[in-house]
Amino acid sequence: MAPRASDLASLRRFGFLTLKTYSLIAVSNAIEALRMANRVTGREDYAWRVLSLDGAPIAASNGLSLHPTEALGDAEGLDVLFVCGGIDVRAATSQELRVALRRLARQRIVIGALCTGTFALAEAGLLRGYRCAIHWENLGAIREEFPEIDILDEMFVIDRDRITCTGGAVPLDMMLRIIATHLGPARAREIATQFLLERDRAGSEVQPVTTLDPLPPSMGRAVRLMESRIDQKLSIGEIARAAGLSERQLERLFRTYTGATPVAYLAATRLERARRLLRQTGMSITDIGIACGFMSLAHFSTAFRNRFGYAPRQERQRQAG
C-alpha cells in the first residue's frame, strides 16, 4: 500500500543510523539530496543527523567515518530513521539495536533502511506485512531467512511507514521522490540536474539481474527465470520457451554474452548463490544446497569444490576466520 503524498511531504527531519561497515555511498547520496534541496530553495527545509547506538563515529566499509555522529538515544524529534547497513550486516546487528528499533516504531516514527539495513528491520520483526527492498546481492539470503516477508527485487519500496532502498546511488532517486512530494516535481528535477542525473529512476524499476553487459531482452528473460527458480529443476527447453527462443538460439546467445552454455551458466549461478548464502546466513549447508537446486549434499559439495577449489564448510570457516 503506497503512502499518501502528504505523508511523505511531512518527512523533514531525517536520522541515519550507521551500522558497522555501512555503505558510505548510500548514506552520502541520501544526505546530499537533502543538502541540495536546501540549497536550491534557499531555506532549511530539511535537517539530518548521523547516528550510532552509542554516539561514537562508525567506520564505513571504506574505512571512513562521518562527523558529527550522535547517540540514537539523544536524537529527538525525528520524522524518519534510516538504518544504514553494508558488508556483513548480520555481525553489525544486536539485541540492543533490535530493542531500539522496536521502541522507535512504537513511537510512530517512519522506519527505513539503506542497502542491507533491511536485514536489521526484518530481524527486529518490523517488516511483517510490508513490502520491502534490499541490495540484490543479499536478496537470496534474506528471502530464505524471512520467507514471510514480501521482499521485492525493486530499486526502492515505500510502503506506508516503512521505506527501504537497495543502496549504491539509488538512495538519491528515493530521496528525490520524497522531496518532490513537498517541494514539487520541478524542484526535484532542478536538484537532479545539479547532480547530472540523466533520468529519474522509479522505485518499481527492477534491479539489474547480472553484472554482464546489457543483454538482449530475450536473454534477460532467460536469466531472470534461472534466478527466480534457482531451487527448482529447469530444462533448457523450458528456459528457451520462456525467452521466446529455440534451444539453438538460446545456446548461441549464452555463448556470445557469457562464453558458456546455458547449462554451465545456470550451474554457476546456483553455486554463486550458494556461496552468498554461506557467507550471509546461518542456514545449514544441507539447506543451502537444497535452496540452490542441488538434490543431495554430496552433489552440492562436489560441484562447489570443483568451482571454488574447497568445500562449502571451508567457506564458512574462511568467513569466521
Q: How confident is the model at residue 204 (pLDDT cuts 50, 70, 90)?
A: low
Residue 267 lies in a domain: yes
Residue 211 lies in a domain: no
Residue 210 lies in a domain: no
pLDDT (mean) for 20-38: 96
pTM of the predicted protein model: 0.73
- For residues 244 and 176, membership in a common domain is answered with no
- For residues 260 and 174, membership in a common domain is answered with no
Q: How confident is the model at residue 319 (pLDDT cuts 50, 70, 90)?
A: low
Take residue 218 and report the three cell numbers written for it: 530475450
- For residues 182 and 290, membership in a common domain is answered with no
Which CATH number fits the domain that encloses residue 305? 1.10.10.60
Residue 10 lies in a domain: yes
Is there a contact between 67 and 57 (Cβ–Cβ < 8 Å)?
A: yes
Question: Where in the chain does DSSP place strands (E)?
Answer: 13-18, 47-52, 69-71, 80-84, 110-114, 131-133, 150-152, 156-159, 162-165
- For residues 139 and 173, membership in a common domain is answered with yes
Residue 212 lies in a domain: no
- For residues 119 and 57, membership in a common domain is answered with yes
**pLDDT tens per residue, range 31-66:** 999 999 999 999 999 999 999 999 999 999 999 999
Q: Which of 230, 216, 295, 314 is nearest to 267 (CA)?
A: 230
Is there a contact between 113 and 82 (Cβ–Cβ < 8 Å)?
A: yes
Residue 206 lies in a domain: no
- For residues 36 and 75, membership in a common domain is answered with yes
Backbone angles phi, psi at 200, to 5 degrees: -80, 140
Question: What single-letter DSSP state applies at residue 136?
Answer: G
Q: Give Cα 286 to chain centroid, integer Å.
A: 25
Is there a contact between 115 and 167 (Cβ–Cβ < 8 Å)?
A: yes
Residue 86's domain spans which residues? 5-195
Which CATH number fits the domain that encloses residue 108? 3.40.50.880
Distance between CA atoms of 239 and 142, rounded to whole angstroms? 25
Q: How many domains does the chain have?
A: 2
**pLDDT tens per residue, range 78-89:** 999 999 999 889
Residue 209 lies in a domain: no
- For residues 13 and 161, membership in a common domain is answered with yes
For residue 213, pLDDT over 80 is answered with no
- For residues 168 and 255, membership in a common domain is answered with no
pLDDT (mean) for 283-306: 90
Sheet of 69-71: strand order equals 69-71, 47-52, 13-18, 80-84, 110-114, 162-165, 156-159
Residue 200 lies in a domain: no
Q: Which of 277, 136, 280 is nearest to 210 (CA)?
A: 136
- For residues 94 and 177, membership in a common domain is answered with yes
Task: Look at residue 37 in the predicted model and tell me its pLDDT.
Answer: 96
- For residues 63 and 168, membership in a common domain is answered with yes
- For residues 15 and 122, membership in a common domain is answered with yes
Tell me which residue has cell 555481525: 91
